[in-house]
């Protein structure tokens, strides 16, 4: 507790105990095995409003909802990894160079899913398609790139479930 006293700028450990107790009661921290740890709520951000991408709307008093990025983008944390997109073969699907995609590994796939695939021992991100002969191939979302019809192996690493990017640093 002495370390926590220094961090929060309090001299009294009883004040820190009281603060921690209030944070536990509010759902921001939890006590586990004699330690305190942040809960998902600790990392949540307020989702304060909807914003039209067309005609402006009146500013309202929308109810605030707490949301974590994990809750929004990730269905199965144990099977989900993040991958950084390199290149522009998927730009027409809204996936740009530098974006981060959430990928659910070992997920059931179907034609039309955007997937991270392994083709001849190399990773790529493309849309999974099925041709008339019942064979899978990979389609980019940029007409400057050709479809990939694997000659050797085609393995689906995972299905892309979401993406995000930084707009400004």
- pLDDT value for 14: 86
Task: Please give the C-alpha separations between residue 133 and each of 127, 130, 147, 155, 156, in angstroms, as whole numbers.
Answer: 18, 8, 16, 18, 19
> What's the fold here for domain 75-164?
Umud Fragment, subunit A (2.10.109)
Sign of the Cα torsion 31, 34, 37, 40 reads negative
High-pLDDT (> 70) share of the chain, %: 98
pLDDT tens track for 87-121:
999 999 999 999 999 999 988 999 999 999 999 88
Each as own residue / partner, the long-range contacts of residues 84-89 (CB below 8 Å, 24 or more positions apart, any chain) are 85/125, 85/163, 88/142, 88/144, 89/124, 89/125, 89/126, 89/140, 89/141, 89/142, 89/144, 89/145
Annotate the chain with DSSP letters as a single string: -HHHHHHHT-S-HHHHHHHHHHHHHTTSEEEETTEEEE-HHHH-EEE-----SSS------PPPEEE-HHHHH-S-GGGEEEEE--SSTTGGGT--TT-EEEEEET----TT-EEEEEETTEEEEEEEEE-TTS-EEEE-SSTTS--B--SS-EEEEEEEEEEE--S--
pLDDT higher than threshold 80 for residue 154: yes
Average pLDDT over residues 6-34: 85
Question: Whole-prediction pTM value?
Answer: 0.76
pLDDT higher than threshold 80 for residue 49: no
**Active-site residue 91, yes or no?**
no
Tokens of 116: 């991270």
Closest to 1 measured CA to CA, from 22, 19, 25? 19
Q: Tokens 């009281």 — which residue?
A: 18
Which of 89, 91, 105, 153 is the catalytic position?
89
- pLDDT value for 1: 67
**Active-site residue 89, yes or no?**
yes
Which of 15, 126, 153, 163 is the catalytic position?
126
Domain ranges in the chain are 2-43, 75-164
pLDDT tens track for 121-133:
889 999 999 999 9
């Amino acid at each position: 507790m002495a370390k926590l006293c220094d961090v929060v700028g309090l001299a009294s450990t009883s004040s820190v105990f009281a603060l921690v107790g209030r944070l536990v009661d509010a759902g921001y921290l939890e006590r586990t095995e004699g330690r305190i740890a942040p809960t998902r709520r600790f990392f949540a951000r307020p989702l304060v409003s909807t914003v039209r991408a067309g005609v402006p709307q009146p500013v309202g008093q929308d109810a605030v909802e707490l949301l974590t990025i994990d809750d929004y983008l990730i269905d199965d944390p144990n099977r989900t990894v993040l991958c950084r997109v390199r290149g522009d073969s998927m730009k027409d699907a809204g996936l740009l160079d530098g974006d981060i995609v959430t990928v659910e590994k070992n997920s059931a796939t179907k034609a039309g899913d955007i997937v991270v695939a392994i083709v001849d021992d190399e990773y790529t991100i493309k849309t999974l398609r099925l041709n008339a002969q019942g064979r899978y191939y990979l389609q980019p979302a940029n007409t400057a790139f050709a479809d990939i019809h694997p000659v050797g192996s085609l393995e689906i690493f995972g299905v892309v479930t979401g993406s995000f990017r930084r707009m400004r640093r």
